[in-house]
Amino acid sequence: MARSTVTIICSVFLVGLLLGPLISLINFSGLSLSLSNSDIAAIKFTFVQAAYSATLSTILAIPVAKALLRQNFWGKRFVVLILGAPFILPVIVAVLGLILVFGNNGIVNNLLNLIGLGSVKIYGFWGVILAHVFFNLPLAIRILLQALNDVPGEHYRLVSSLKLSFTQNFLALEWPVLKKVCPGIWAVIFAICLSSFAVALTLGGGPKATTVELAIYQSFFYDLDFSKAAQLALVQIVLVFSVVVASQFIVKPKTVFGLDIKISNHNLSDFQKIIDTVVIIITLLFIFTPILVIFFYGFSDVFSLPPSVFKAASLSIQIAILSSFLSVFLGLCLATNTGEIFGSLGIAISPIVMGAGTFLMLKNFGNPYLLAVPVTAMVNALVSLPFVIRILKPSAIEIRTEFENLSRSVGLNGIYWVWWVFLRRLKRQIGFSLGVASALSMGDLGVIVLFGSGEIATLPLKIYQLMGSYRVDEALASALLLSLLAFGSFALFDKLGRAL
C-alpha cells in the first residue's frame, strides 16, 4: 500500500476518532449558539494567558540561551539535557511543587516576609502564567540554544575581528537568529497554552481565571449543560487548530552552513560572565526547585502510602502503556507533512469532550464505565500525538528520501519496507516518542476526571483528590511516586529504543 494511502486512511480514522465524539455530543444535546458573558470572558482569558505565557517564556529564554551558549562549565551538557524534564513532568506534580515554592507558606513568600517585602500570589491569573512559564521556558531555551548553536563559528570570528559595538554585534549575529526562531517558539507555546486544563483547574478557576477547556469541564460537571460544552469545544477547535496550522507556516527552520568550527571563547568581560552565571543559576533554581521540593517532602511518606494510591498507580501504568503504543502507531502512519496537520487536531479538541462524546456513543452498547481504561488511553494517545509526530516526522522523511532509490531497486516496499527499513532506522525515535507519550499519559489529568470515581482513579486524579481533602503529606508522596513513574517510563522506553 502506498505511503500516501496509509496517511489518508489514518487521517480519516483520526478525524473520525476526534470529531465522532463531538458530533455524538451535539446529536445528544443540541448546540447552543449564543455566547454568554462568562463564555466570552473564558475565551478572552484563554487568549490573554496564552499570549502572556508565550511572550514571557520566549523573552526570558533569550538571555538564558545566550548565557548557556557563551559559558562553558562542568555539567553543561547534563543541564541542557534535563531542561527537557518539565515537559514530561506531570502537571499536577509541577503544580504541587510550585505551590510549595510560591504558595502562601512557600519558600519564596517566607523569604519575602523575612525581609519585610509583600507576598506573591500563586492562585489566579499570575499563578496560571507562572505554571505555564515553568513548563514552557525550558522548551523555548532548548530551541533557541539549538538555533544559536547552528550559527557557524566563522560568523563569530568575523564579527569579533571587526571589533563591533554591542548593538552592532547583536544586529549582526543574534538578531537574524532570533527574528527567525522566536515567532515559531511563540506560536508553539501559545497553541499549547490555549488548551490548558490541569493548570487552570488547580491554580485558576473562578470568573477571572477560567480557560475554555476549564469552562467545558464546568459545563459538564456543575451546570450539566452539554450543549454549552459542545459549543465551547467547537470554539476551542477553531482557536487552537487555526493557531497550530498557522504555526506550521511560521516554523521553518533553515540551516546555515559553515565549517562547523565551534567557538569556545567568546571574549567576554568579567561583568558579562557574572551576569551569565547569575542568569543560569536563577533559571535552574526556578525550574528545579519545585521538582526537588517534591522529592524532599514526598520521600518520607512514599513507603507508607495507602493501597488505593498503588492501585491508582497500577491503573496509570496500564493506561500509559496502551496509550503510548497507540499514539506511536498513529504517529508512524502520520509522520508526513499532511499527517502532521491532521495529528495536530489532538491538541485542538477538548479531551473532556472526546471522553464525554465517546461515553455517550458507548452507552448505547453497554456500561461505558467498563471501557474507562481503553477510552482514557485512546484520548491520552490523541493528546500526545502532535508531540509524537513532531519527534518522528523529520527522521521518517529523511529515511524515505535517503533509501528511496535503493529500496526501489531491490523491490522492497509495503510491509517489508516498514519491517526492514522504517522501523529499524527509526527505533531510537520510536523509543523516545514512546517515552514521551507514556510520561504524558502517566501525568494526564484530563478525561479521567469524567470517569474518575473511588473505583476508577489514575494517580494524578488520586493526587487531586488528596489535595482536595487536605491530605497534603499523602499528596506529596503520591506526587513523588508519579514523578518517578513518569521519568522512569520515559527513561525505560528511551533506553530500549537505543539498545535494540
Chain contacts with another protein (rule: CB under 8 A): 402-403, 405-406, 408-413, 416, 419-421, 424-425
* Least distance between another protein and beta carbon 5 (Å): 16
User: Of 402 and 455, which has the nearer Cβ to another protein?
Assistant: 402
CA–CA separation, 324 and 330 (whole Å): 10
CA–CA separation, 409 and 403 (whole Å): 10
* Least distance between another protein and beta carbon 10 (Å): 23
For residue 437, the number of C-alpha atoms closer than 13 Å in the C-beta half-sphere is 38
* Least distance between another protein and beta carbon 409 (Å): 5
User: Of 379 and 426, which has the nearer Cβ to another protein?
Assistant: 426
CA 380 to each of CA 146, 211, 219, 326, 399: distance values in angstroms, whole numbers, following the listed order: 29, 20, 21, 9, 28
CA–CA separation, 444 and 383 (whole Å): 10
Helix (H, G, I), strand (E, B) or coil at 103: coil
Place of cell 515537559: 87
* Least distance between another protein and beta carbon 407 (Å): 9
Helix (H, G, I), strand (E, B) or coil at 205: strand
- DSSP, res 447: T
Dihedral, CA of residue 422, residue 426, residue 431 and residue 432, to nearest 10: -140
| b/e burial code for range 267-294 (CB count within 10 A of at least 16 → b) | eeeeebeeebeebbeebeebbbbbbebb
- DSSP, res 421: I
AA identity, residue 492: L
Cβ 153 vs Cβ 260: under 8 Å: yes
Bridge partners, residue 205, by sequence: 209
* Least distance between another protein and beta carbon 258 (Å): 24
* Least distance between another protein and beta carbon 499 (Å): 14
* Least distance between another protein and beta carbon 420 (Å): 7
In 3-state terms the chain splits into helix, strand, coil percentages (rounded to 5) of 80, 0, 20
* Least distance between another protein and beta carbon 415 (Å): 9
Contacts by 399-405, CB closer than 8 A, 24 or more apart: 399/425, 399/426, 400/3
* Least distance between another protein and beta carbon 332 (Å): 17
User: Of 364 and 405, which has the nearer Cβ to another protein?
Assistant: 405
Cell representation of residue 193: 497554552
User: Of 286 and 422, which has the nearer Cβ to another protein?
Assistant: 422
